[in-house]
Amino acid sequence: MQFNKELLPLIKDAYEERNGILGYRQMTIKLNREHKLHVNRKRIYRLMKILNLKSACRRKRKNYIKSTPEITAENILNREFEADGFGKKWLTDVTEMKYGLAGNAYLSAILDLGDKSIVSFVLGHSNNNELVFRTFDIAHEEHPDAKPIFHSDRGFKYTSKVFKKKLDDSGMTQSMSRISRCIDNGPMEAFWGMMKSEMYNCIISGSLVPMQNSKLLLKNT
The burial class, CB within 10 Å (0-12 / 13-18 / 19+), for 108 is buried
pLDDT recorded at residue 3: 87
Q: Is residue 207 part of a domain?
A: yes
User: CB within 8 A of 180, min separation 6: which ones?
Assistant: 13, 16, 17
Q: Please give the Cα distance from 118 to 125 (Å, whole number).
A: 20
Which CATH number characterizes residue 174's domain?
3.30.420.10
Residues 46 and 93 in one domain: no
Same domain, 204 and 152: yes
User: Quick one: DSSP state of residue 99?
Assistant: E
Burial degree of 7 (CB within 10 A; 0-12, 13-18, 19+): buried
CB-based contact 75:89 (threshold 8 Å): no
Residue 83 within a domain: no
Q: Is the pLDDT of residue 118 over 80?
A: yes
Query: Do 99 and 199 have their domain in common?
Result: yes
Which has more confidence, 216 or 126? 126
Structurally, how many domains does the chain consist of? 2
Q: Does one domain contain both 100 and 198?
A: yes
Task: Note whether residue 6 is domain-resident.
Answer: yes
Same domain, 110 and 186: yes
pTM: 0.69
Residues 93 and 199 both lie in one domain: yes
Instruction: Let me know if residue 180 belongs to a domain.
Output: yes
Segments forming the whole domain that contains residue 193: 89-220
Same domain, 208 and 131: yes
3-state helix, strand, coil in the chain (%, to 5): 40, 15, 40
Q: Contact at 8 Å (CB) between 211 and 99? A: yes
Q: Are residues 114 and 195 in the same domain?
A: yes
Question: Residues 44, 147: one domain?
Answer: no
Burial class (CB in 10 A: 0-12, 13-18, 19+), 83: middle
pLDDT tens digit sequence for 186-214: 999 999 888 877 665 544 444 444 444 44
